[in-house]
């Protein structure tokens, strides 16, 4: 028997023209064999995805582009009505991000950053410079990461020195931003880094959570400025209350839902409240 999981990402990373695009209304369904090998993938209709609104005017669509040697889930999100969109966490591979945006007919209007780590923000200055885009986020608590981009490249063993990033707008808890006609809410979720933010499309029930939460795991807290208890607190108070039906794109690995993590994630599941573990 194969294992079925919902997935919302490109079927073929190397060729955006052949890729499938998921949205909250039309996610991709992937069948994995027990070995983890991909057995099949297909797009499902709106009715196949509980909680999806089919009459919303401002639908946000997205496509995931894994970038950098860390295979970070850079996301291109856009408003279906206007085709105006944003790149969230362009860690690198900027030309591939731009090609994917073009293939999907997206007119980029901004860069959004969840946090200042190089695999998420390393390509932000290049992308913003090439297209004249403003950079929004993260919270100012990550200023030291963005200013120290060159040191980060050395720290993470990357060959090239990425330029420092200077956001046009720092974000704080409760802020909102937009792509086209879609409103995106900002949550401040420190713990992995002090200035980490999460983007939430409330109507579409989709969150882009960076390195706060992963399917079955949580972000590392052993970097300067990281804190385990703060991270767990952020997940419990800022993310999980958004709703079990909310899908999320993590910074690395497959998508999941907050309901799934509340049930099975060993770090933050309801049954493990108060239990600490460090893998
Ligand atoms: Zn990170
Ligand atoms: Zn990362």
The ligand minimizing its distance to the Cα of 192 is 1
The ligand minimizing its distance to the Cα of 142 is 1
Give the three-state DSSP class for 75: strand
**Range 26-32 contact pairs with CB under 8 angstroms and sequence separation of 24 or more:** 27/247, 29/4, 30/4, 30/5, 30/6, 31/2, 31/3, 31/4, 32/2, 32/3, 32/4, 32/5
For residue 211, report the distance from its CA to the centre of ligand 2, in Å.
Answer: 5
**pLDDT score of 26:** 54
Residue 24 — pLDDT band, cuts 50, 70, 90?
A: low
Cis amide leading into 138 (omega within 30): yes
Is residue 60 pLDDT above 90, yes or no?
A: yes
**pLDDT score of 161:** 82
**Protein residues near ligand 1, an ion, with CB under 5 A:** 117, 211
For residue 7, report the distance from its CA to the centre of ligand 1, in Å.
Answer: 22
**pLDDT score of 3:** 47
Residue 260 — pLDDT band, cuts 50, 70, 90?
A: very high
**What strands lie across the sheet with 256-257, from one edge to the other?**
176-179, 182-188, 197-201, 206-210, 247-250, 256-257
| Lookup result for tokens 């399917």 | 215
Question: Cα–Cα distance between 61 and 99 in angstroms, integer?
Answer: 17
**pLDDT score of 84:** 97
For residue 58, report the distance from its CA to the centre of ligand 2, in Å.
Answer: 29
For residue 46, report the distance from its CA to the centre of ligand 1, in Å.
Answer: 32
Look up the CATH number of domain 3-45+58-272.
Answer: 3.60.15.10
Nearest Cα neighbor of 194 from 234, 163, 166 is 234
Is residue 6 pLDDT above 50, yes or no?
A: no
Query: 3-class secondary structure for 95-146?
Result: HHHHHHHHHCCCEEEEEECCCCCHHHHCCHHHHHHHHCCCEECCCHHHHHHH
For residue 239, report the distance from its CA to the centre of ligand 1, in Å.
Answer: 17
The ligand minimizing its distance to the Cα of 71 is 2
Is residue 209 pLDDT above 70, yes or no?
A: yes
SS3 content of the chain, % helix, strand, coil (to 5): 25, 30, 50
The ligand minimizing its distance to the Cα of 196 is 1
Question: For 59-70, b where at least 16 C-beta lie within 10 A, e where not — what string?
Answer: bbbbbbbbbbeb
Average pLDDT along the chain: 84
Is residue 14 pLDDT above 50, yes or no?
A: no
């Amino acid at each position: 028997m194969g294992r079925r999981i919902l997935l919302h990402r490109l079927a073929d990373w190397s060729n955006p023209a052949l890729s499938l695009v998921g949205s909250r209304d039309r996610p991709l369904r992937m069948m994995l064999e027990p070995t983890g090998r991909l057995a099949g993938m297909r797009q499902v209709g709106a009715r196949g995805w509980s909680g999806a609104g089919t009459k919303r005017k401002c639908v946000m669509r997205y496509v995931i582009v894994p970038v950098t040697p860390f295979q970070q889930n850079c996301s291109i999100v856009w408003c279906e009505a206007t085709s105006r969109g944003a790149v969230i966490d362009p860690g690198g591979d900027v030309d591939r991000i731009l090609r994917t945006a073009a293939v999907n007919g997206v007119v980029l209007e901004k860069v959004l950053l969840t946090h200042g780590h190089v695999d998420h923000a390393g390509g932000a200055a290049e992308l913003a410079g090439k297209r004249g885009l403003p950079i929004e986020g993260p919270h100012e608590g990550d200023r030291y990461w963005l200013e120290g981009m060159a040191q980060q490249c050395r720290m993470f063993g990357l060959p090239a020195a990425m330029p420092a990033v200077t956001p046009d707008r720092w974000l704080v808890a409760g802020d909102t931003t937009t792509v086209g006609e879609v409103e995106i809410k900002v949550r401040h979720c420190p713990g992995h880094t002090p200035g980490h933010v999460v983007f939430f499309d409330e109507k579409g029930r989709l969150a882009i959570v960076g390195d706060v939460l992963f399917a079955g795991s949580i972000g590392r807290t052993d970097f300067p400025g990281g804190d385990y208890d703060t991270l767990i607190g952020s997940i419990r108070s800022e993310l999980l209350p958004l709703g079990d039906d909310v899908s999320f794109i993590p910074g690395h690995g497959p998508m999941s839902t907050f309901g799934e993590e509340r049930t099975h994630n060993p770090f933050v599941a309801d049954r493990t409240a108060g239990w600490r573990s460090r893998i």
